Amino acid sequence: MPPELDGFRIMHLSDFHFGVPSPGIGAAWQAAVWARERKPDLVAISGDLLTHPRGEPMLRQLVRILPGPAFAVLGNHDIALSRDPQARRSDLSELEPATLLRDDGRLLELRGRHVWIAGADPRLIVRGRPRLDPNTLARDADFSILLCHYPRVLDALEPGRFDLVLTGHMHDGQIALPFPGGKVRFAHPSARYNAGVYRSEAATMHVSAGLGTTFVPFRFAARPEATELTLRRS
């Protein structure tokens, strides 16, 4: 990583699930206000913005208070690719003043260096079969970031394509049973990537526990999360 980017701060938000009653609505607004106060170099939102289209006005109000530059991708709930009976397709095509990335990216000049941020559409993985090779979203830059809703995208990446991957989707299990040394997560119990930082030969990935809820409007032993990531040279 170039020395100019040492200390670069990214605010990572995920899984608002606006449009249905949930305590996550309050958590998302608290996160947005905190992001504005922290003034990060970049804001990244990794999908599931809406569970139902009626949440779109609130989503747009929230995005307007976020500091820029801000980038977002859609998640499976945004296109109603979910078993959640409340999920309805929203058909977002833009999210001004944030940039909505759908299998494309932007080259930014930040701190005098070129930072490439790409975003994968939620149809990237349908029924376990890749629809788009995420490696094709990579570009030459001093630092490269991939936004994708699904953490399992890390397994499809080739080394050297992206430096940092930002994902969500898992809610850290949303409802979990703690035990000494860990917890049983009732959502996605066999998932390899649940929350936090993971490192592989391909990239470093942060999985956000997210802010909203699905199916039932509460969390247990899986706190809502907004994360400020600070990049450091190894």
Domain span holding position 55: 3-230
Q: What's the pLDDT at 135?
A: 95
Q: What digits encode the pLDDT tens for the residues 81-120?
A: 888 888 899 989 999 999 999 999 999 999 999 999 999 9
Distances (CA, A) of 221 to 150, 167, 183: 22, 20, 8
3-state SS class at 136 = helix
Cα–Cα nearest to 170, from 145, 196, 146, 144: 196
Asked if residue 1 has pLDDT above 60, the reply is: yes
Q: What's the pLDDT at 91?
A: 82
Cα–Cα nearest to 113, from 177, 163, 157, 173: 163
Distances (CA, A) of 45 to 119, 120, 149, 220, 229: 10, 12, 9, 23, 13
Q: What digits encode the pLDDT tens for the residues 47-74?
A: 999 999 999 999 999 999 999 999 999 9
Amino acid type, 223: R
User: What is the tally of structural domains in the chain?
Assistant: 1
pLDDT band at 134 (very low <50, low <70, confident <90, very high): very high
Question: Which CATH number covers residue 156?
Answer: 3.60.21.10
**Is pTM beyond 0.75 here?**
yes
Lowest mean pLDDT among 30-39, 153-162, 170-179: 170-179
